[in-house]
Amino acid sequence: MKVLTQSPLVFKSISELMRRLEQPKPLHPLVGLINYDRVKINHEDAGRSFLINFYKISFKKDFKGQVKYGQGYYDFEEGGLAFLAPNQIVTMSHEENSYDGYALFFHPDLVRNYQLGKNIQQYGFFSYTVSEALFLSEKEKKVITGLFESIANELENNIDHFSQDVLVSQIELLLNYSNRFYNRQFITRKVVYNDLISKMDAYLSDRFDSGKSSLSGMPSVQEVSDHLRISPRYLTDMLKSLTGQSTQQHIHNRLIEKAKDILSTGNLSVAEIAYQLGFEHPQSFNKLFRQKTKTSPVEFRQSFNK
């Protein structure tokens, strides 16, 4: 019985989830909107994991405490937005906290035949971990509140031929504002992220200097992200916002700088350098080096002997 209690509850429809949360029947079969101040915790579900087959956007204006998502906790001390893609696990809180805000659920089928359905993977925050939630200023909270209220008003209308078009447009607008505010967060917390970049560079330097790459191969985006304890998508979005480069590009640039140091000061052959830096084939190293420097490793070395 203990194993069954710990098994996550799986919800394939919005209606099914609303019934479990003791909420009114959804006004649209593919969209559910919950006002948090009207939610009462079902003590039978406290600590229980939910696996939902749809998107969730959680907006809390003010909240003192933490909410568990998957294996981590999101601190909503100042309020903010958190995003979940389908088939992720949410754990119901044991705490009977009261707070203002909304939870929006929408099924993938709602956007499937729209451009948003094709582009939704571009909204990387659905792949962020809970520690990477979006913190909002008071002005931004007002904007997000207005968007949720617009969605609520549309859901109150009778469903007609335009209902889905309007709802999809409103959700897309909400996601676009979230993109804008995340970009602001990267900029306003630049000092914090610069420290993160320094930590990443130190890790890459150690990786290249210690000879670990000859055994483990080139450092991957996942490996670097795991070391920094952030999600790969968040790391890439942060780097692009601050430096214009992806994580892979940043790794390659650090690798090329290390290769230049070895070429200019050492006697290792190009093939030996390639293997030391984690390449399986020297040709791949030559190709990347030329791509980044517009010259070959041999030509670069020869320039120091003139």
**Domain locations along the chain:** 2-188, 191-302
8 Å CB contact between 85 and 122: no
Report yes or no on whether pTM surpasses 0.85.
no
The predicted structure's pLDDT at residue 45: 66
Tens digits of residue pLDDT in 279-291: 989 999 999 999 9
Tens digits of residue pLDDT in 174-207: 999 999 999 888 887 777 788 889 999 999 998 8
HSE at residue 90, side-chain half, CA atoms within 13 A, is 24
Residues 6+ apart with CB under 8 A from 32: 14, 17, 18, 23, 26, 103, 104, 105, 106
Residue 223 has pLDDT above 60, yes or no: yes
CATH topology of domain 2-188: Jelly Rolls (2.60.120)
Distance CA 21, CA 50 (A): 11
The predicted structure's pLDDT at residue 5: 53
The predicted structure's pLDDT at residue 88: 81
Just give the CATH number of 191-302.
1.10.10.60
The predicted structure's pLDDT at residue 219: 92
Tens digits of residue pLDDT in 102-113: 999 999 999 999
Query: Closest Cα partner for 284 from 305, 299, 270?
Result: 270
Compute the average pLDDT of residues 223-245: 91
Residue 272 has pLDDT above 50, yes or no: yes
Looking at mean pLDDT, say which of 34-43, 59-68, 90-99, 188-197 comes out highest: 188-197
- Is 211 strand, coil or helix? coil
Phi, psi of 183 (to 5 degrees): -60, -40
The residue to which tokens 């055994």 are assigned: 215
Report CA dihedral (11, 16, 19, 25) to the nearest 10 degrees. 140
Q: Among 59-68, 140-149, 178-187, 190-199, where is mean pLDDT lowest?
A: 59-68
Cα–Cα distances (Å) from 240 to 183, 204, 263, in that order, read: 10, 18, 29
Query: Closest Cα partner for 51 from 10, 14, 23?
Result: 10
Distance CA 36, CA 25 (A): 16
The predicted structure's pLDDT at residue 6: 65
